[in-house]
């Protein structure tokens, strides 16, 4: 009896092993590094995964959260295949010799805002000499750095300036830690921290909210990237598909997910965002409720997604003019020292995914 | 051969006794020169060196290391001054830096992954003013202040515990348990409690230094040779005299051990604490912000500063230990 038991158990284990292998064999397992913890900012990817859009493309995509770190670090190390990040993070990494490649632009407009209390006396955004400004580290500080430089101010983020005009205070992403006691001006994403600050008891009529995009600092945000090594692999992970083909499939499914997400925002938050996020979805204070906060976020995210090329039917397309504007801004503010090489952007996967070219998006 | 015939090994050593082994010095010099030549040759180039060059550089590193090990062996066997004895360590450092510089240049490793030693040194110089300010914040305001607070509170607490049987039974197990709390677990909590400036990091440091000092000092005060106490009693020493002349000296080596441990913990606590929020300065802040921007030249410069301070501080405490506990068994010649 016992021996039989063991044999049947062993057989079951072997069969189960085959099944796992067979499943893995059907879909190519890849991973996408999100730029932060799960929240509506990544709604399109959650939808694509849950609705099976990735599976339809033959992909088994793992969506990875990240904390206080640049997604570029995990992708460049080879631990993760694709990632989402912001343009300044990508271009500065490229300048430092990391072979990262932009393959799709998901958000067509920057959601980076600067917030001050009306009572702070900051009338003009450049009025911040001698003030403290809250910023996030890990490559999220570049829009603020661009602002300081544009205003002709030095900051404590520059390791070569001993007596900076602006004190940049780093804080772990919760504005309640620093605002308004420690800093006069604070970085805030329009889809996240602005609502948290309102939740802390500072209604919009008590606040000045500057969208950096309106101040001439429209540094593109959430984009999809990978490395040259992934793109140029002729047989990615033994799947028979090239790295470019895998990238195209990932984009096709993701764009489909994004289209669904912005079309039904409330349903997306309830069915696809809230189930995958825990505490990280909550707002602050009176607006702590996760659902309310994520609905705000989804609404604002939809605006960023649907701007620019998306409005002309080219979601995911990196408009050359917008790209050049971001590059020029980073060059002007000396965040980049030279223009990035042409290989920094690869339209191939996006064209393959959508069947369109740049000419269709004018 | 030498292992088979001891007498041969002996003659070998004697033969080398006239001067340093010529082959070793030659290997050391040739290896270094080739590495140096390549670094200068490749100073402005930005292409990967040929396979031949890369092989030659590995070979040069190996040959130099071989020469160095032979030379170090020779120095160890011969009477030499302190300056000479220091040579192997100095050459190890030079060789490591030179080989890193040459190989990183040969393979054109991006500066966003690993900067070359010269790039780090250049940045160390360029950013010296800022790094000094960062040092003031991290080392003086956070590590040293927190350390002094931690030790300052730990000493009276240790005395109390040593005098009270109840506290020994009731508190020491917790002190030992608390002393193994990982610092990164405390840091975010303290940043929320005490704010982003130096106070929260000093608090982290104070707590991490506090428990090892208590645990060690209490042990030092209590774990005393009973014959020593008998002797003191036979001299009719009162409690105060026993404490000052027997218990305190007995506790000193334990105390200094805890202090040396504490210097390391304090540097770690201050730097890691800054990862959870900082007011625009500090070595931990600098490391975090620059690592996020792939500015690893500055990251390494900050690491060099932090390490140098950590070593100097440890050295200072070790020197104090030798001064105050020179009578101790472990320090007697």
Positions of CATH 1.10.3720.10 in chain B: 125-325
Q: Does position A3 have pLDDT exceeding 60, yes or no?
A: no
Q: Residues of A near B (CB-CB distance < 8 A)?
A: 68-70, 72, 76, 92-93, 95-98, 132, 137-141, 155-162, 164, 167-172, 177-178, 182
Q: Give mean pLDDT, residues A309-324.
A: 94
More confident residue, B241 or B192: B241
| B279 interaction partners in chain A (CB closer than 8 Å) | 132, 167, 169, 182
* Homologous superfamily (CATH) for A112-215: Periplasmic binding protein-like II (3.40.190.10)
Q: Does position B278 have pLDDT exceeding 70, yes or no?
A: yes
Q: How many residue contacts between A and B have a Cβ separation below 8 Å?
A: 92
Nearest to B56 by CA among B118, B103, B108: B103
Q: Give mean pLDDT, residues A46-54.
A: 97
pLDDT at A20: 44
Per DSSP, A62 falls in state E
Q: Which of A96, A159, A160 sits opposite B112 (nearest CB)?
A: A96
| B196 interaction partners in chain A (CB closer than 8 Å) | 169-171, 177-178, 182
pLDDT at B308: 95
Minimum mean pLDDT range among A143-157, B7-21, B184-198, B218-232: B7-21
Q: Give mean pLDDT, residues A19-39.
A: 78
pLDDT at B9: 43
Q: Does position A46 have pLDDT exceeding 60, yes or no?
A: yes
| Residue B257, number of CB atoms within 10 A of its CB | 18
Closest chain B residue to the Cα of A167, Cα to Cα: B280
More confident residue, B84 or B68: B68
Tell me the backbone φ, ψ of residue A83, rounded to 5 degrees: -150, 165
Architecture of domain A2-109+220-277+305-361: 3-Layer(aba) Sandwich (3.40)
> Which residue blocks in A1-141 are alpha helix, DSSP H?
2-26, 43-50, 53-56, 71-76, 87-95
- Asked if B297 is an interface residue toward chain A (Cβ–Cβ < 8 A), one would say no
The whole-angstrom distance between B277's CA and the closest CA on chain A is 4
| B126 interaction partners in chain A (CB closer than 8 Å) | 160
The fold of B125-325 is MetI-like fold (1.10.3720)
Cβ separation A171–B112 shorter than 8 A: no
Peptide bond into A180 cis (omega under 30): yes
B11-47 residue pLDDT tens: 444 444 567 788 888 999 999 999 999 999 999 888 8
| B129 interaction partners in chain A (CB closer than 8 Å) | 162
Cβ atoms of A253 and A53 closer than 8 Å: yes
Nearest to B305 by CA among B259, B270, B332: B270
| CA B258 to each of CA A63, B147, B151, B221, B291: distance values in angstroms, whole numbers, following the listed order | 46, 11, 9, 14, 32
Whole-number Å distance between alpha carbons of A176 and A82: 32
Q: Give mean pLDDT, residues B88-107.
A: 93
Q: How far apart are the first and last CA of chain A?
A: 74
Nearest to A272 by CA among A54, A49, A85, A59: A49
Nearest to A68 by CA among A164, A141, A161: A141
Closest chain B residue to the Cα of A176, Cα to Cα: B192
Cβ separation A182–B195 shorter than 8 A: yes
pLDDT band at A252 (very low <50, low <70, confident <90, very high): very high
Q: Give mean pLDDT, residues A23-27.
A: 65
pLDDT at A6: 52
pLDDT band at A279 (very low <50, low <70, confident <90, very high): confident
Cβ separation A98–B110 shorter than 8 A: yes
pLDDT at B168: 82
Q: Does position B269 have pLDDT exceeding 80, yes or no?
A: yes
Give whichever of A202-211, A243-252, B15-24, B192-201 has the largest mean pLDDT. Answer: A243-252
Cβ separation B130–A161 shorter than 8 A: yes
pLDDT at B8: 42
| Residue A259, number of CB atoms within 10 A of its CB | 16
Q: Does position B298 have pLDDT exceeding 80, yes or no?
A: yes
Cβ atoms of A93 and A146 closer than 8 Å: no
pLDDT band at A137 (very low <50, low <70, confident <90, very high): confident
**Torsion-angle region of B309 (φ positive above 0: left; ψ -120 to 50: alpha; else: beta):** alpha
| CA B119 to each of CA A157, A339, B43, B97, B100: distance values in angstroms, whole numbers, following the listed order | 20, 22, 11, 12, 12
Q: Tokens 């007596």 appear where?
A: A163
Q: Which of B110, B133, B275 sits opposite A162 (nearest CB)?
A: B133
| B111 interaction partners in chain A (CB closer than 8 Å) | 96-97
DSSP string, A325-356: HHHHHHHHTTSSSSPPPGGGB--HHHHHHHS-
Interface test with A, best of B198, B289, B301 (most A CBs within 10 A): B289
Cα torsion A268, A271, A273, A276 to 10°: value is -160
Q: Give mean pLDDT, residues A173-185.
A: 84
Positions of CATH 3.40.190.10 in chain A: 2-109+220-277+305-361, 112-215
Q: Which of A96, A141, A172 sits opposite B276 (nearest CB)?
A: A172
Q: Give mean pLDDT, residues B229-250.
A: 89
- Asked if B199 is an interface residue toward chain A (Cβ–Cβ < 8 A), one would say no
- Asked if B276 is an interface residue toward chain A (Cβ–Cβ < 8 A), one would say yes
Q: Give mean pLDDT, residues A288-317.
A: 94
Nearest to A271 by CA among A298, A289, A253, A301: A298
Dmax of chain B from CA atoms?
83
- Asked if B292 is an interface residue toward chain A (Cβ–Cβ < 8 A), one would say yes
Cβ separation B288–A137 shorter than 8 A: yes
| CA B95 to each of CA B28, B38, B102: distance values in angstroms, whole numbers, following the listed order | 9, 14, 10
pLDDT at B332: 59
- Asked if B193 is an interface residue toward chain A (Cβ–Cβ < 8 A), one would say no
Cβ separation B289–A132 shorter than 8 A: no
pLDDT at B12: 44
Closest chain A residue to the Cα of B46, Cα to Cα: A97
Q: Give mean pLDDT, residues A255-265.
A: 97
| A172 interaction partners in chain B (CB closer than 8 Å) | 188, 191, 276-277
Tell me the backbone φ, ψ of residue A32, rounded to 5 degrees: -120, 120
ipTM confidence score? 0.72
Cβ separation B289–A70 shorter than 8 A: no
Give the mean pLDDT of chain A. 89
């Amino acid at each position: 009896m016992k021996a039989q038991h063991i044999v049947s158990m062993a057989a079951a284990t072997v069969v189960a092993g085959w099944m796992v292998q067979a499943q893995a064999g059907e879909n190519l397992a890849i991973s996408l590094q999100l730029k932060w913890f799960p929240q509506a900012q990544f709604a399109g990817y959650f939808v694509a995964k849950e609705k099976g859009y990735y599976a339809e493309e033959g992909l088994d995509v793992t969506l990875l959260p990240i904390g206080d770190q640049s997604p570029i670090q995990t992708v460049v190390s080879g631990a993760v295949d694709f990632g989402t990040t912001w343009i300044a993070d990508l271009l500065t990494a490229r300048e430092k010799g990391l072979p990262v490649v932009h393959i799709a632009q998901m958000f067509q407009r920057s959601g980076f805002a600067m917030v001050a209390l009306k009572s702070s006396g900051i009338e003009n955004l450049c009025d911040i000499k001698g003030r403290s400004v809250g910023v996030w580290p890990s490559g999220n500080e570049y829009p603020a750095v661009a602002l300081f430089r544009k205003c002709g101010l030095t900051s404590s983020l520059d390791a070569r300036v001993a007596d900076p005009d602006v004190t940049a205070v780093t804080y772990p992403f919760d504005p309640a830690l620093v605002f308004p006691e420690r800093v006069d001006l604070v970085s805030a994403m329009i889809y996240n921290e602005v609502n948290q600050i309102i939740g802390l008891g500072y209604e919009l009529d008590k606040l000045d909210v500057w969208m950096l995009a309106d101040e001439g600092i429209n540094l593109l945000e959430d984009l999809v990237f990978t490395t040259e090594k992934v793109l140029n692999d002729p047989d990615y992970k033994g799947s028979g598909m090239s790295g470019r083909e895998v990238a195209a499939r990932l984009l096709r499914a993701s764009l489909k997910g994004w289209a669904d997400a912005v079309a039904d925002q409330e349903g997306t938050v309830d069915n696809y965002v809230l189930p995958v996020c825990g505490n990280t979805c909550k707002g602050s204070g009176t607006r702590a409720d996760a659902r309310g906060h994520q609905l705000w976020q989804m609404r604002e995210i939809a605006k960023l997604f649907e701007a620019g090329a998306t409005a002309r039917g080219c979601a995911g397309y990196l408009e050359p003019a917008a790209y050049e504007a971001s590059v020029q801004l980073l060059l002007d503010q000396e965040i980049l020292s030279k223009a990035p090489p042409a290989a920094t952007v690869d339209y191939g996967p996006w064209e393959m995914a959508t069947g369109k070219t740049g000419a269709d998006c004018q | 051969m030498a292992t088979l015939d001891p007498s041969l090994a002996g003659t070998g050593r004697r033969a080398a006794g006239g001067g340093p082994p010529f082959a070793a010095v030659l290997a050391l010099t040739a290896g270094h020169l080739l590495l140096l030549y390549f670094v200068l040759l490749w100073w402005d180039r930005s292409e990967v060196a040929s396979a031949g060059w890369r092989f030659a550089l590995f070979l040069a590193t190996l040959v130099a290391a071989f020469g160095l090990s032979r030379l170090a062996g020779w120095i160890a066997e011969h009477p030499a001054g302190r300056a000479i004895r220091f040579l192997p360590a100095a050459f190890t450092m030079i060789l490591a830096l030179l080989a890193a510089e040459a190989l990183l240049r040969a393979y054109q490793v991006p500066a966003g992954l690993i900067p070359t030693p010269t790039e780090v040194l250049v940045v160390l110089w360029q950013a010296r003013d800022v790094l000094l300010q960062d040092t003031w914040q991290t080392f003086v305001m956070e590590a040293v202040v927190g350390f002094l607070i931690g030790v300052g509170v730990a000493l009276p607490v240790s005395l109390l515990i040593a005098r009270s049987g109840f506290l020994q039974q009731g508190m020491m197990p917790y002190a030992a348990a608390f002393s193994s709390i990982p610092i990164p677990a405390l840091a975010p909590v303290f940043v929320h409690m005490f704010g982003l400036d130096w106070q929260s990091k000093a608090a982290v440091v104070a707590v991490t230094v506090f428990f090892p000092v208590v645990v060690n000092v209490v042990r030092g005060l209590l774990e005393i040779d009973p014959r020593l106490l008998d002797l003191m009693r036979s001299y009719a020493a009162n409690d105060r005299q026993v404490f000052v002349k027997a218990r305190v000296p007995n506790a000193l080596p334990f105390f200094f051990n805890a202090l040396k441990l504490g210097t390391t913990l304090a540097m770690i606590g201050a730097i890691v604490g800054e990862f959870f929020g900082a007011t625009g300065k500090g070595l931990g802040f600098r490391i975090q912000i620059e690592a996020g921007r792939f500015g690893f030249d500055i990251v390494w410069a900050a690491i060099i500063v932090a390490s140098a301070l950590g070593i100097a501080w440890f050295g200072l405490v070790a020197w104090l230990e030798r001064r105050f506990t020179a009578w101790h068994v472990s320090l007697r010649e």
